[in-house]
Structure 1
Amino acid sequence: MTARISLTPPRTLLNRFGSWYSRRMYGKVLDPGLAIGHNRKVLLTYVKLERSVAKWNALDPALRHLAVMAAAARINCSWCMDFGHWEGDELGLSSDKISQVPQWRDHREAFTELELQIMEYSEAMTETEPSVTDGLAAALLGRLGEAAFVELTAVVALENWRSRINSAFGLTSQGFSEACEVPSRA
């Protein structure tokens, strides 16, 4: 699939800086940045949001990553899943474990009870009509505490935004993982 939007935004100072920064951080210019680069205000807001979110620290980074990957898998965003393998590697997470996130129900033994609850919550939040139950929310509140629960909820909502944008733009993997296609949930 080819992108539905040009990945050649205007060569503004902001976009040139963004490309330089992306190459420095990730080894290549990220397609979502190129796509969003067509609208300066959206790009600036997005960058500010991502920089702010990077400072959150109430939720364990590995749990956060599993939540993000579960949301991306539920939306079927292959770009997000591909990049998620790179992020997981940066966090020192097992690539085998990350690869099992899209089908976590079939690989329950690979995850702790808390990780399973996190992924269940992430998927429930991601449904078109959210299906979070009182019981699941209470269980996570009890295990994580209110600050981490709020962070978990916000991170899943943000990943929904990212994945839906990338999917709507038709963005696919950029080669961050060898197995970048989202496995079927069937």
Structure 2
Amino acid sequence: MARISLTPPHTLLNRLGAWYSRRTYGKVLDPGLAVGHNARVLLTYVRQERGAAKWNSLDPGLKHLAVMAAAARINCSWCMDFGHWAADSLGLPADMVTKVTKVPQWRDNQDAFTELELLVLDYAEAMTETEPRVTDELAAALTGRLGEAAFVELTAMVALENYRSRMNRAFGLTSQGFSDACAVASRE
């Protein structure tokens, strides 16, 4: 049960956001409804998401694995549900979509991932800890494999997912049924 009303004020901004969300995702996103109670926060949130969508230094599959690892670590069911749908709708290769299902238990399924993917998953979890446990060695291994621009993007994406997941968990948001519409089952 959401800890905040999902009926924000009926402002032009919120009506436009709901229209865009229905057109893009098929339904109005609960995080948008929750954040819609504060117009300045909503505008900043939208700008941040639109800006992040344009980042392109990091492989989209690696980026999505990192996002899902952070969401899984925080145990954000809304983020995991939406992330499964996004993996299916982003046009990621079938093997990457399959890997997404293994992210919550990636340590038990290491043979399903490449060495670089394992580094990315470890980094996303390390960054997500309440006291981050990123080591010099892990950062150097990723910087060496990805390059500095992609490493910065990876770090920013994990931080952004921490922001999303922690906010959604604090609001009490849960699965909205996105994964029901794709080939990947949600893990709640």
TM-score bucket of the superposed structures, by smaller chain: over 0.9
The equivalent residue for 1:101 is 103
Mapped partners of 2:11, 2:90: distance in 1: 33
Mapped partners of 1:131, 1:61: distance in 2: 24
* Structure 1 stretches lacking a partner, 5+ long: none
Shift of 1:13: 0.3
TM-score by length of 1: 0.95
Identity %, equivalent residues: 76
Mapped partners of 1:107, 1:91: distance in 2: 23
Number of equivalent positions: 181
CA RMSD of aligned residues (A): 0.9
The equivalent residue for 1:84 is 83
Give the 5 Å matches for 1:1-186.
Answer: 2-93=1-92, 94=94, 95-178=97-180, 179-182=185-188
Mapped partners of 1:89, 1:114: distance in 2: 22
SS at match of 2:179: coil
Mapped partners of 1:5, 1:181: distance in 2: 24
Mapped partners of 2:160, 2:72: distance in 1: 14
TM-score by length of 2: 0.94
SS at match of 1:100: helix
Mapped partners of 2:144, 2:90: distance in 1: 25
Mapped partners of 1:13, 1:165: distance in 2: 24
Once the two structures are overlaid, the 10-residue window that deviates more, 105-114 or 161-170, is: 105-114
Q: What one-letter code is carried by the residue in structure 1 that aligns with 2:132?
A: P
Shift of 1:154: 0.5
* Residues 155-179 of structure 1, C-alpha deviations (whole Å, 9 max, x = no match): 0000000000000000000001143
